[in-house]
Amino acid sequence: MLMPVVVITGASRGIGLAVTRSLLKEHNAHVVTISRTRTPELSQLIQEHERSLLTLECDIANEPALKSAITRGKDHFGQIDGLILNAATLDPMGRIDNADITLDDWKSHFDINFFSLITAIRASLPGLRESKGRIIFVSTGAALRGMSGSGAYCASKAAMNSLSRMLANEEPSIVSLALAPGGVDTAMQAVLRDTGAQHMKATDHKNFIDAYNKGILVNPHDVGYVIAALSLRAPLSLTGQFVKWDNEECREFRRK
């Protein structure tokens, strides 16, 4: 039996690294990672999983480069069974009326957080149709409620959720699922704690500080396992949905 092949963007750190590690060590999968840089942690995984891990470096906002990377991944392993869209940026942070944030800043943000999704999906669809595979969109609860000082991020993630729903309608044989990982203990949370006060409401910033101080942030390895499992086994009954990683819908995909 062939090992499943999963392509993941934004895999060099945080949630993406945790997902990659889980796919390799706990789910016996082949993995293609696409990220701008190769971190020491990702390099270590390459040494440990030389035959089952292919790491490709590219700017995901560069359409030809991203298409080429996904094609190389499929050609290398011969198939694509799952696509995990995890790469994202917070920048620019600031209120919508912030004169220092230009429209081009917003466009650059959407190039990474939204338009790269379309490029990755288009490049992956032929393989995913063959395998009747799965696409996991790593989203956020902020896509629904909004968060002061993070207009671009919230808007791009809301667009992501809409894209997932639309894709589920157009590609009925492929599972298309948007997932909220909650507040995960990653570098992005550290940025929000360290610099958020100058951009967001005091109450919003306090929520990030309190979550860290109370030790209630999600372990990236726990949510990483769920995302990895969903990319391989999520049923068609979940397609088009937006779910939180620890809701009932994901119970069977958590680490036992």
Catalytic residue IDs: 139, 153, 157
C-alpha neighbours within 13 Å on the C-beta side of residue 1: 4
C-alpha neighbours within 13 Å on the C-beta side of residue 16: 30
Between CA 193 and CA 186 the distance in angstroms is: 11
Token readout for 25 is: 């060590």
CA distances from 95 to 16, 123, 241, 254 (A): 28, 35, 30, 37
Between CA 37 and CA 34 the distance in angstroms is: 9
Between CA 168 and CA 61 the distance in angstroms is: 24
Q: How many CB atoms lie within 10 A of CB 190?
A: 12
Give every CB contact of residue 83 below 8 A, 6+ residues apart in sequence: 6, 7, 8, 120, 121, 124, 128, 133, 134, 135, 136, 231
User: Do the Cβ atoms of 160 and 139 come closer than 8 Å?
Assistant: yes
Handedness of CA 35, 39, 45, 48 (dihedral sign): positive
Helices (H), 26-77: 40-48, 63-77
